[in-house]
Structure 1
Amino acid sequence: MTDAPLEFFERRHVRSGTSFNYLSAGEIPFLEALLVGIFDCAAVIDLSRRYLYVNQEYVDFVGKPASEIIGKTILDVLGDALDNSYRMAIATLPTGGSIGREGWIDYGALGRRYIKQTITCYPQGSGPVAGHIILSRDLTDLKVQQLELEWRIEAQTQADTYHAVIVNNALDAIVVIDETGAVVDFNPAAVSIFGYSRDEAMGRQIGDLIIPETLRAAHDRGLSNYLQSGMTRILGRRLELEAQRATGEQIPIELTITEVRLGTKRLFAAHLRDLAAVRRAQEEIERQREALHQKDKLAALGSLLAAVAHELNNPLSIVIGQTMMLRETLAGIPMAADLVQRSAKIEIAAHRCARIVRSFLDMARQRKHERKSVLIPDIVKAALGLLSYNLKSSGVEVDIDLPKDLPVLWIDADQIHQVIVNLVVNAYQSLEEKTEGLRRIRISADHDPRAKAISLRISDNGTGIPPSIRSRIFDPYFTTKPQGTGTGIGLAVSRGLIESHGGTLDLDPSPSLGGAGFVIVLPIDDTGADPCTEDKPEAAFQAETTGRHVLIIDDEIEIANLLADMVRKLGFSASVATGGDAAKALFEGAIQPVHAILCDIRMPGGDGPSFFDWLRQNHPHLTECVGFITGDTLGPAAGRFLARSGCPVIEKPFMPDDIQRILKTLVKMDAPT
């Protein structure tokens, strides 16, 4: 504003003689008072865009005193760019009219300003336009605040959208509560884990919602203490706790809690992860690790036994073979019935030893079971018959409760027989420590048609198994027996045999006699069952054997002589060699024609494979008449050789029927004698 605006107008009027001659003397103060009283920046310019008047707001906005503005042009005061802007705007003005404009304008040194402006024509009476009145309002601060607010709103909208996407799609449950413990957010993962809908959860107390009743008091105390003292041992830590579903089921969870401050308001965001599946997976991994560990132990045990199988099976072959021949010899002698029975028992025990060795080898080879249709009562009867003397001498009574209508099982009878014998032996050995009262063993069975399984229970009335070792009794090499009386492998092997049949062997949680108890569960699977419960015997050797000669090669002279005796009983003649080198020497001499060769594989004086290769070069027609007898075919070299040769093989200990069967395969009856 000028120091004397009224005088300025008057002077301007006198000089020009045209500027305000249409205004009366009373109108000039009115105009001055009008422009001085408004809050906007006001300026009056003539047609040359020269300032005639500015108010104080305009002076403050431009930052120059009125004396440097009045009489100067817009070009002089504001510069070329703004002068051009005003010139173009005024050019569009209709006569006697006004225009308004709003936007960002660059004021040079004053910077960019957001201006709302009107430009109005100022006529000379009813004549032509003498100038223009410019009213401007600086809205820069307001516009900046508006833009900042819009930015904040947009940022908040984006944050809310981002938050919603993250929270709603999080795999973990996110539950937010306020200071009172009321739920203010409950994401979809929480809905899935805890079973409440979002509407059901919102506003409810978290303690009533997912915290088990036994933990609610501790939760309330912890929240109250933190709100009062700020001390906590929970915030920011990973915790594993129990939580409760809508159904009342308790589940393990992993939990972290974070405090969120919104001004003076405090919220607590809990991230929860359901650990039920993780725990199940960990238990399964641990179970499989333990199973693998046990299998490794059993494999090592099987390999150990396989290494000595040859040495075990040779004497077993001698015991079985000589016992059978002794029994046959005694059968025709009067008053020898008792000796025949005793030899039969020796033979049965030797067969049991052979089956045990073969079972270990079968596990090590992972060979399929020799299954057939079997009744459990028959196996139990056979096992008790084998152990009858031991049970009687130990004063043990055996109660048997086996229903007559039990279904037939499709199993390897020898292996299940071995398991039952082992469990009964363990029972009566534990009862030997019982000094008072009766010693009893109970064997019972039942059929579960729904589960398609038979359960066989064997229990005793001894002292039982202490709880401290229950988890270890199936571990290989673990035994409670004194040193020298137990190997610790019986239960481990028995469980392995039952599991290989798809069944289970476990401790009986409630043994009927109160002592130790075991329960065997075997599935009923008759998909491959043979309706016949007994194997049909091989047809007798009907062909004429007189004049047929068999060469027997074995480094164990007792085995070789036993084989020779069995062969001669079938009508053949026989020669014996104690190794491959000795057999070659026989061929160099005057040996009679050979129609079949029974040869061991592992021998120090020239083994079976090297003799077979020599035979292929020197007597190739005889390679089809060779059968191998061995105490162990587990070794990879022996297995590869047998596959390469294509020769039949039987394992020690052998039976006369085995020898008859292999000779029937080897001997060509149309060959010359």
Structure 2
Amino acid sequence: MEAATVPVFSEERRRVRPCVTAAEAVRRLRNVQDWQRDLGSILAILGNGFAVHRAIVFCQHEVAHQGFVQSIESLWLAPEMEGKVTQPTTINQTIVHSDALLEQLAAEMSQGKIFEGHTRNLEGFLRRDFEKQKIKSFLSVSIFAHGYLWGTLAVNDCVQERVWTDEEKAALEIIASSLGDAIEHSLSDEHISETIRSTMIQMSLDAIIAIDESGSIIEFNPAAERMLGFDRSEILGKDLLHTVVPHFYRKGYATGAQYMTGRGAPMIGHRMETLTQNKEGQVFPIELTATEIRIGDRRLFFGSMRDLREKHRAEEEINRQREKLHQNEKMAAMGSLLAGVSHELNNPLAVVVAQSTLLHEFASDQPTKIRAEKVRAAAERCGRIVKSFLGMVRLHPSAQTETDLSHVVRAALEVTAYGARTSGITVDTDFADDELTVMAEADHMVQVAANFLINSQHALVNRPGDRRITVRTFRNAEGMPGFSVEDNGPGIPEEIRHRIFESYFTTKPVGVGTGIGLSISKSIVDRHQGRISFTPVEPHGIRFVVEMPALSLPVKLGTKAKQRPNTLRHALIIDDEPDVAASLADIVELMGLKSRIVQSWTSMDETIGRYKPDIVFSDLRMPGVSGTAIFRELAENHPEIAKRFVLVTGDLVGAKAELEEFPVIRRPHILEKPFSTLDVRSVLAAINDQATAS
């Protein structure tokens, strides 16, 4: 549009007209019966009086799925501008949220601030939109009705950038205020109430359905459409009973109205949980509040429904998490209990193993040697069982080491042997001839095998006839080491096989199983990059299989370690258990070392200075000071002796957190209770090799 083709109103006319224009517009608004019908002529008075090219009234209203929308209520356009400017743009909430200036403008207009200026000073959406409409200057004020922002009144100059005077601004505000009064006066109380009720129904987040006395649906709000899948247009006029009432509730009722008033538990005036049915026939739980109202001689029923599916899912998840927390707390408590029991039990076991070993060494007759060996073997077996139980309960990650799966399975059989024996279950074993070495956390793999064995025992307890468990270790066709546990029990029903590795899923009676054994087993095997599976066994039973990545190590044949001279002469033993200390002293003296025993650590200078040991054995758990504290003190003041320090413990699993605080190359040596002469000899050899090499 060329500026020369559009008339420019004189400055003199602008100076004298605003107040006269405002008075004329206000007088017109007071005299009209319907402000909407006369709004066009009022805008013409405003446009001519202000010498502008456009005068517009925008209104704000809510549209379903769009939020608040600013649309054109009425527009006046100067005759000279016909065909030369475009229509104002309808702006919805999405556009407002995408533009910072529009968001700021919306906030300021709701506060009654005037919006004025020149298009070239704008940015973003408004600048592009105003340039499209050929707007050069703009002035806009808010229209308030019933205390809320109803809309805006605006004037535009489409030819030049003009500076709006205070008189023009004041006049426009007077007209907007008068227009707001006219809007308020036109809405009767009855109209307002009806608008509020209609808005509440349409905007409610709960599904609202209204039926008449025949059961026909007469109202169906957008929330009901979303919940039940019906379009409002297709369900209005249909009977409630045959649309949203589940089929198993319909028996005995002819209409939806009879159903609402005649159910066993009256629904009118109560909040209750029940079931509904959507368009696809899916039945799901809802919370229903039903109300009856009378209009003249008519009875209407309103139902407000809230979908409870998400609530029920949340409650189920909370219950699952609560049960999981409860089980974890029980496992933690059991771990703490076993840690204490293992420490107390391993001390006397250490004495039994050590003394039976010495008796075997020094016995003069063969029968005594045989008896001593049986005592030692039984005590060592007790120690392995304690370690296996403790390792199964303590689930924090530990270092993976070279582990023979056949040893793993044997340890699991020792842990579970009593249950099988007392239940009359035969356990057959078939172990591979070669070593099945893998990198694994041995305690955790023992737990996997023990879980399979315990599950098989539970499955066979009430089974008549022959009850048998078969355990195998093998190397599969791919070269992967593995083991399997098979039983001839009832097996696993096909319909639940896909769930058996889920946490807390169990088919066992209450008090027999927690439902976490197989879930933990799967997580352990997955963490080792292994495979866990199960297959049915004919004619009945189940077989669980674990396969692990093979460990490939170069094998050097014909090599023999070079014998190093023994440089250890004096051993210091720190232990508050006299029998354990004495047994350890007997073993080290058997190996050529002189030993001294102290039952408590008083001070480093006194103890070390008095005995000058080549090697120090210290119990981990002692009253007053722990073995790790003694090690720290030696590492700081006597680093050479700290290199020949041995921690003696019956709870290695529980001590791992403390040991991992030290750098790997500075950790003390470990001697586990109960210890044999071979264990002590191995520790002495390692320290002697280290000392002579340095």
TM-score normalised according to structure 2 size: 0.52
Structure 2 residue 466 is the aligned partner of structure 1 residue 438: yes
Give, in angstroms, the shift of residue 315 of structure 1.
2.5
The one of 266, 286, 294 equivalent to 1:233 is 266
Structure 2 residue 300 is the aligned partner of structure 1 residue 277: no
What is aligned with 1:474? 513
Evaluate the alpha carbon distance shift between residue 640 and residue 498 of structure 1 in structure 2; reply closer, same or farther with a 3 A threshold: closer
How far, CA to CA, are the matches of 1:535 and 1:496 in structure 2? 37
Structure 2 residue 456 is the aligned partner of structure 1 residue 417: no
Give yes or no for contact 1:474–1:495 (8 Å, CA) kept in 2: no
Give yes or no for contact 2:213–2:299 (8 Å, CA) kept in 1: yes
Indicate the larger mover: 566-575 or 185-194: 566-575
Q: Residues 646-657 of structure 1: matches in 2 within 5 Å?
A: 648=668, 650=670, 652-653=672-673, 656=678
Give, in angstroms, the shift of residue 338 of structure 1.
11
The one of 547, 557, 576 equivalent to 1:555 is 576
Give yes or no for contact 2:471–2:483 (8 Å, CA) kept in 1: no
Evaluate the alpha carbon distance shift between residue 340 and residue 609 of structure 1 in structure 2; reply closer, same or farther with a 3 A threshold: closer
How far, CA to CA, are the matches of 2:335 and 2:216 in structure 1? 64
How far, CA to CA, are the matches of 2:276 and 2:510 in structure 1? 30
How far, CA to CA, are the matches of 2:688 and 2:297 in structure 1? 100
What is aligned with 1:626? 645
Q: Which of the pair has more CA radius of gyration?
A: 1
The one-letter amino acid paired with 2:313 is R
How far, CA to CA, are the matches of 1:103 and 1:611 in structure 2? 101
Q: Residues 599-614 of structure 1: matches in 2 within 5 Å?
A: 599-603=618-622, 608=627
How far, CA to CA, are the matches of 1:640 and 1:382 in structure 2? 25
- Equivalenced residue count is 479
The one-letter amino acid paired with 2:511 is R
Give, in angstroms, the shift of residue 413 of structure 1.
4.3
Give yes or no for contact 1:545–1:572 (8 Å, CA) kept in 2: no
Evaluate the alpha carbon distance shift between residue 395 and residue 596 of structure 1 in structure 2; reply closer, same or farther with a 3 A threshold: same
Give yes or no for contact 1:372–1:530 (8 Å, CA) kept in 2: no
Give, in angstroms, the shift of residue 157 of structure 1.
6.0
The one-letter amino acid paired with 1:396 is I
Give yes or no for contact 2:216–2:239 (8 Å, CA) kept in 1: yes
Give, in angstroms, the shift of residue 415 of structure 1.
3.7
The one of 278, 283, 286 equivalent to 2:319 is 286
Structure 2 residue 390 is the aligned partner of structure 1 residue 368: no
Give yes or no for contact 2:260–2:268 (8 Å, CA) kept in 1: no
Q: Find the residue that maps to 2:279 and give its secondary structure.
A: coil
How far, CA to CA, are the matches of 1:223 and 1:423 in structure 2? 59
Give, in angstroms, the shift of residue 154 of structure 1.
6.3
The one of 322, 325, 350 equivalent to 1:317 is 350
Evaluate the alpha carbon distance shift between residue 570 and residue 284 of structure 1 in structure 2; reply closer, same or farther with a 3 A threshold: farther
How far, CA to CA, are the matches of 1:163 and 1:454 in structure 2? 71
The one of 524, 541, 556 equivalent to 1:501 is 524
Structure 2 residue 388 is the aligned partner of structure 1 residue 355: yes
Evaluate the alpha carbon distance shift between residue 468 and residue 218 of structure 1 in structure 2; reply closer, same or farther with a 3 A threshold: farther
Give, in angstroms, the shift of residue 618 of structure 1.
8.1
How far, CA to CA, are the matches of 1:424 and 1:497 in structure 2? 14
Give, in angstroms, the shift of residue 279 of structure 1.
0.7
How far, CA to CA, are the matches of 1:422 and 1:605 in structure 2? 39
How far, CA to CA, are the matches of 1:625 and 1:402 in structure 2? 39
The one-letter amino acid paired with 2:226 is S
How far, CA to CA, are the matches of 2:191 and 2:488 in structure 1? 73
Give yes or no for contact 1:633–1:639 (8 Å, CA) kept in 2: no
The one-letter amino acid paired with 1:235 is I
Q: Find the residue that maps to 2:238 and give its secondary structure.
A: coil
Give, in angstroms, the shift of residue 289 of structure 1.
1.2
Q: Residues 197-596 of structure 1: matches in 2 within 5 Å?
A: 197-217=231-251, 220=254, 223-224=257-258, 233-319=266-352, 344=377, 347-360=380-393, 362-363=394-395, 367-371=396-400, 383-384=412-413, 396-398=425-427, 412-418=441-447, 420-421=449-450, 424=453, 437-441=465-469, 460=489, 470-474=509-513, 498=521, 501=524, 531-532=551-552, 543-564=564-585, 567=588, 574-580=595-601, 587=608, 591=611, 593-596=612-615
Q: Find the residue that maps to 1:217 and give its secondary structure.
A: coil
Per-residue CA deviation, residues 402-457 of structure 1 (Å, 9 max, x unaligned), is: 99xxx9998644344346447746876997898x7434447799x9xxxxx99966
Give yes or no for contact 1:440–1:461 (8 Å, CA) kept in 2: no
Evaluate the alpha carbon distance shift between residue 392 and residue 163 of structure 1 in structure 2; reply closer, same or farther with a 3 A threshold: closer
Q: Find the residue that maps to 1:501 and give its secondary structure.
A: helix
Evaluate the alpha carbon distance shift between residue 379 and residue 204 of structure 1 in structure 2; reply closer, same or farther with a 3 A threshold: farther
Give, in angstroms, the shift of residue 193 of structure 1.
1.8
Evaluate the alpha carbon distance shift between residue 260 and residue 184 of structure 1 in structure 2; reply closer, same or farther with a 3 A threshold: same
Evaluate the alpha carbon distance shift between residue 410 and residue 460 of structure 1 in structure 2; reply closer, same or farther with a 3 A threshold: farther
Q: Find the residue that maps to 1:551 and give its secondary structure.
A: strand
Per-residue CA deviation, residues 300-325 of structure 1 (Å, 9 max, x unaligned), is: 23223333332122233345556677
Give, in angstroms, the shift of residue 211 of structure 1.
1.1
Superposed CA RMSD: 6.0
What is aligned with 2:230? 196
How far, CA to CA, are the matches of 1:616 and 1:442 in structure 2? 51
Q: Find the residue that maps to 1:669 and give its secondary structure.
A: helix
How far, CA to CA, are the matches of 2:627 and 2:294 in structure 1? 87
Evaluate the alpha carbon distance shift between residue 306 and residue 274 of structure 1 in structure 2; reply closer, same or farther with a 3 A threshold: same
Give, in angstroms, the shift of residue 174 of structure 1.
1.4
How far, CA to CA, are the matches of 1:163 and 1:650 in structure 2? 79
How far, CA to CA, are the matches of 1:338 and 1:633 in structure 2? 30
Give yes or no for contact 2:347–2:674 (8 Å, CA) kept in 1: no
The one-letter amino acid paired with 2:221 is N
How far, CA to CA, are the matches of 1:385 and 1:513 in structure 2? 29
Evaluate the alpha carbon distance shift between residue 498 and residue 215 of structure 1 in structure 2; reply closer, same or farther with a 3 A threshold: same
Give yes or no for contact 1:235–1:258 (8 Å, CA) kept in 2: yes
The one-letter amino acid paired with 1:577 is V
Structure 2 residue 625 is the aligned partner of structure 1 residue 597: no
Structure 2 residue 200 is the aligned partner of structure 1 residue 166: yes
Evaluate the alpha carbon distance shift between residue 640 and residue 333 of structure 1 in structure 2; reply closer, same or farther with a 3 A threshold: closer
Give, in angstroms, the shift of residue 173 of structure 1.
1.3
The one-letter amino acid paired with 1:279 is H
Give, in angstroms, the shift of residue 268 of structure 1.
1.7
Indicate the larger mover: 257-266 or 183-192: 257-266
How far, CA to CA, are the matches of 1:231 and 1:604 in structure 2? 71
Q: Find the residue that maps to 1:271 and give its secondary structure.
A: strand
Unpaired runs of 5+ residues, structure 2, are 1-29, 33-181, 477-481, 492-505, 527-533
Unpaired runs of 5+ residues, structure 1, are 1-101, 105-147, 448-452, 476-490
What is aligned with 2:21? none
What is aligned with 1:181? 215
TM-score normalised according to structure 1 size: 0.54
How far, CA to CA, are the matches of 2:207 and 2:691 in structure 1? 83
Give yes or no for contact 1:194–1:244 (8 Å, CA) kept in 2: yes
Give yes or no for contact 2:620–2:626 (8 Å, CA) kept in 1: yes
Give, in angstroms, the shift of residue 194 of structure 1.
1.7
Per-residue CA deviation, residues 31-72 of structure 1 (Å, 9 max, x unaligned), is: xxxxxxxxxxxxxxxxxxxxxxxxxxxxxxxxxxxxxxxxxx
How far, CA to CA, are the matches of 1:668 and 1:241 in structure 2? 77
Evaluate the alpha carbon distance shift between residue 540 and residue 581 of structure 1 in structure 2; reply closer, same or farther with a 3 A threshold: farther
The one-letter amino acid paired with 1:417 is V
Give yes or no for contact 2:356–2:372 (8 Å, CA) kept in 1: no
Per-residue CA deviation, residues 520-570 of structure 1 (Å, 9 max, x unaligned), is: 798x8x7xx67359999xx96954323543322223344334444665677
